[in-house]
Amino acid sequence: MVNTLFLPELREMLASDDRGELEEFCVALNAGRTAEFMEGLDDNEVWRVLQYATPERRAEIFGYFPEVRQVTMLDQEPADQVAALVDEIPADDRVDLMQSLPEQRVGEILNLLPVDARRDIQRLGAYPDGTAGALMTTEVAMLRSDLTSREALEELGRQASDLETIYYLYVVDENQLLLGVVSTRQLVSSLNKPTKTLSEMMESDVIAASVTDHQEEVAQKVEKYNLLAIPVVDDARHLAGIITHDDVIDVVREELEEDAQRIAAVAPLEDSFLEVGLLMLSWKRGIWLTILFFAALLTAFALFHYDRELAQYEWLVWFIPLIISAGGNSGSQSATLVITAMTSGDVAFSDWPKVMKREVIVALTLGGFLALIGYTVAFFLAPSPEDALVIPLTLLLVIFCGCVCGGALPMLFKRLGLDPAMMSNPFVAGIVDILGIVIYINVARLLLTAPL
């Protein structure tokens, strides 16, 4: 919902170059809300309003616009103004933005940046996507261990405007080796002991991520230890950067969304749903849809194989979709529950006997219940009440197979080092579809009175 309340006033202020009012507009509200009030302006209008804010505030407000709009502005506005803004954007965000710009434009902007910002962008840009290195920012408070709490607070005050977070200070030696961590909470609590040094206060057992760690591991660590931010170190434990809580929330959301997409047999999208190219979208969906299609093709061959039985007992055909869908649905329930439980750390491989025992009990409960309903319907459609027994018996067996496959396969895939969210549902669907038909026809062969 675009907020249009202030748009006419803003446009009027821009037309009359009303410096006082525009400067006031840029500081009066929370930066996020300021951005919201500008959503209805076009990119160039936004850019012009932003020029009335202080450089720091400008970067803050700019950060609240959607990424597509940010990229357009950085691409189209005057290079010198863009470079001035880029210099103020947090190090991790600006790398992502620069990677979305055309190469030539990136060169133009880099040339206008101070040398340290340029190097920083190049260094951070070198880490592969999805690693801690690519996620971290280099704006981290590094202090020497011999500072007193009061000196540290004062140093922090000087650096505060350049740091992404000031709530953890990392104590390092002259080679940036990570020695310990002190929280601002500790500093503030020891204000009455102004001579206490950081080395006396710091915790030396620092929970850290490595630059090469996958972002999901990093998020799990931050969650497990309830951290506000986690330091990122290289192989030799030199402090390279920091990952803050807001980036962690983004990772958790991204990873879980990808899980949901994988469960529905879509290879995870790299852009948001409306922005990803249609060819790419078709490809990401098409590969798995085709794999599932081949699995389902097997059912066609199976039914072809059982041609004689189906010709003899025509009424069996009517229940084919029902049986297959009951197995598929119970299997996908089990698989999804196990996958989400593994992602959240509730279930490990060693829990498999417990998981299997539970799946068996639930399968018998659910299968028994649906078999009853199935029998009621089959009672009316089948030639005789005895023949109708094929349906409940098949349903019970198929739902049992669905639950057991659905519970077991994700754990097995994880054990084999494969992605359970990606692999499980296609396999469960394929196996249960085929098993469903084989079970159905064999139960029919066994129970039906007329000889086949």
416 residue type, one letter: L
Decide if residue 30 touches a copy of itself (CB under 8 A): yes
Given 209, 332, 420, 435, the residue binding a copy of itself (CB under 8 A): 332
Smallest CA-to-CA distance from 98 within 65, 116, 81, 75 is with 75
Residue 88 near residue 55, CB atoms below 8 Å: yes
Of 52, 65, 170, 319, the one binding a copy of itself (CB under 8 A) is 319
The answer to the question of residue 156 lying near a copy of itself (CB under 8 A) is: yes
Number of residues that bind a copy of itself (CB under 8 A): 120
Identify residues 350-369 at the interface with a copy of itself (CB under 8 A). 351, 354-355, 358, 361-362, 365-366, 369
Between 121 and 370, whose beta carbon lies closer to a copy of itself? 370
Return the number of the residue (319 or 413) whose C-beta is nearest a copy of itself: 319
* Residue nearer to a copy of itself on the CB measure, 133 or 430: 430
Options 12-20, 172-180, 204-212, 441-449: segment touching a copy of itself (CB under 8 A): 204-212
For residue 376, how many other CB atoms are within 10 A of its CB? 12
Residue 348 touches a copy of itself, criterion: CB under 8 A: yes
For residues 322 and 440, give the distance between their C-alpha atoms in angstroms, rounded to a whole number: 11
Q: Which of 296, 356, 412, 447 binds a copy of itself (CB under 8 A)?
A: 296
297 touches a copy of itself (CB under 8 A):
yes
Contact positions with a copy of itself (CB under 8 A) in 365-394: 365-366, 369-370, 373-374, 377, 381
Name which of residues 49 to 68 contact a copy of itself (CB under 8 A): 63-64
For position 273 contacting a copy of itself by CB under 8 A, the verdict is: yes
Give the C-alpha separation, 36 to 7, whole Å. 11
Candidate residues 14, 303, 356, 418; the one interacting with a copy of itself per rule CB under 8 A: 303
Give the position of tokens 């077991």: 408
Q: Which is nearer to a copy of itself, 146 or 223 (CB)?
A: 223
Check residue 235 for interaction with a copy of itself (CB under 8 A): no
The residue to which tokens 């204000």 are assigned: 191
Q: Which is nearer to a copy of itself, 117 or 432 (CB)?
A: 432
b/e burial code for range 421-445 (CB count within 10 A of at least 16 → b): bbbbbbbbbbbbbbbbbbbbbebbe
Residues 405-424 that bind a copy of itself (CB under 8 A): none
Burial class of residue 238, CB neighbours in 10 A (0-12, 13-18, 19+): middle
d(CA 299, CA 301): 5
Q: Which residue, among 215, 211, 189, has the nearest Cα to 201 in the 3D structure?
A: 189
CB 231 to a copy of itself: min, Å: 13
Q: List CB contacts of 201: < 8 A, sequence separation 6 or more.
A: 149, 182, 186, 187, 190
- Candidates 11, 110, 112, 167; binder of a copy of itself (CB under 8 A) is 167
Does the protein bind a copy of itself through residue 429 (CB under 8 A)?
yes
Helix (H) or strand (E) holding 367: helix 352-381
Among 5, 24, 33, 76, binds a copy of itself (CB under 8 A): 33
Tell me the β-bridge partners of 230.
Answer: 243
Dihedral, CA of residue 281, residue 283, residue 288 and residue 294, to nearest 10: 140
